Chain A
Amino acid sequence: MKRRQQGILTGMPFMANIVPRTFVDDLGRKLYLAKVPTRIVSLAPSITEILFAIGLKEDIVGVTEFCDFPPEAKAKPKVGYSHPNIESIVALRPDLVLAPRAFLRADLLSKLEQLKIPTFIVDPDSFDEIPGRIQMIGRMLNRSASADTVAMEMRQRIAEIQNRTEARPRPRVLYVLNSQPLITAGPGSFIHQVIGLAGGTNVAAQAAVAYPRLNMEAVLTEDPEVIVFPVGVAEGIPPAEQELWRRWTSLSAVKKGRLHQIPADLLNRPGPRIVEGLEQLARILHPEAF
Chain B
Amino acid sequence: MSTITDQRSLATKTGRLTAQPGTAGSSVRPGTTPAAGSVLTAKRWLSVMLGLSAAALMLLLACLQFGTQWIGAGQLIELLARLVRAGGTDAEAIGTTGVILFQVRLPRVLLSFLVGGSLASVGVVLQALLRNPLADPYVLGVSSGAALGVSLAILLGVGTTVLALSALPLCGFAGGLLSLVVVYRMAASYGRLPVHSLLLAGVILNAIFSAVIMFVTSIMDPNRSAGMMTWLMGNLSAPSYSALAIMTAYLMVGVFILFKQARVLNLLTLGEESARSLGVETERVKRLLYVVSALITGAVVSVSGMIGFVGMVIPHAVRLVLGVDHRILLPASALVGGMFLLVADTTARTLLSPAEIPVGIVTALAGGPFFIYLLVWRKDRFS
Interface residues of chain A, those whose CB is within 8 Å of chain B, are 66, 81-83, 103, 177-178, 180-183, 186, 204, 206-209, 211-218, 220-221, 223, 230, 238-241, 243-244, 247-250, 264, 268
Interface residues of chain B, those whose CB is within 8 Å of chain A, are 67-69, 91, 96, 99-100, 103-105, 157, 159-161, 166-168, 218, 221-224, 226-227, 230-231, 235, 237-238, 240, 349, 352-358
A221 and B68 in contact, given A181-B227, A181-B235, A182-B237 (Cβ under 8 angstroms): yes
A218 and B68: CB pair below 8 A?
yes
Residue in B closest to A181 when the chains form the complex, CB atoms: B235
The contact of B230 among A204, A213, A216, by CB within 8 Å, is A213
Residue in B closest to A247 when the chains form the complex, CB atoms: B240
Q: Kindly list 16 other residue pairs between chains A and B, CB separation below 8 angstroms, not including A181-B231, A220-B100, A240-B166.
A: A66-B221, A82-B222, A177-B223, A180-B166, A181-B235, A204-B354, A206-B354, A212-B354, A215-B349, A215-B354, A217-B349, A220-B104, A238-B157, A240-B159, A244-B166, A249-B91
The docked-state distance in angstroms from the alpha carbon of A284 to that of B167 is 30
Residue in A closest to B67 when the chains form the complex, CB atoms: A217
B159 and A213: CB pair below 8 A?
no
B226 and A177: CB pair below 8 A?
yes
The contact of B223 among A218, A221, A239, A268, by CB within 8 Å, is A268
A214 and B159: CB pair below 8 A?
no
Residue in A closest to B217 when the chains form the complex, CB atoms: A82
A217 and B100 in contact, given A81-B222, A212-B354, A240-B167 (Cβ under 8 angstroms): yes
Q: Please name 6 pairs of A and B residues whose Cβ atoms are closer than 8 Å in the assembled complex, sorted by A.
A: A83-B218, A180-B235, A216-B104, A217-B349, A243-B161, A268-B223
Chain B contacts for A208, CB-based, 8 A:
352, 355
B227 and A177: CB pair below 8 A?
yes
Q: How many A-B residue pairs have CB under 8 A?
A: 103
The docked-state distance in angstroms from the alpha carbon of A121 to that of B230 is 28
The docked-state distance in angstroms from the alpha carbon of A273 to that of B293 is 51
Chain B contacts for A186, CB-based, 8 A:
355
The docked-state distance in angstroms from the alpha carbon of A247 to that of B159 is 17
Residue in A closest to B236 when the chains form the complex, CB atoms: A181
A241 and B159: CB pair below 8 A?
yes
The docked-state distance in angstroms from the alpha carbon of A218 to that of B96 is 11
A217 and B231: CB pair below 8 A?
no
B353 and A218: CB pair below 8 A?
yes
The docked-state distance in angstroms from the alpha carbon of A218 to that of B357 is 14
The contact of A212 among B166, B238, B355, by CB within 8 Å, is B355
The docked-state distance in angstroms from the alpha carbon of A181 to that of B226 is 10
Chain B contacts for A178, CB-based, 8 A:
224, 226-227, 230
A239 and B160 in contact, given A208-B352, A215-B353, A218-B353 (Cβ under 8 angstroms): yes
The docked-state distance in angstroms from the alpha carbon of A241 to that of B159 is 8
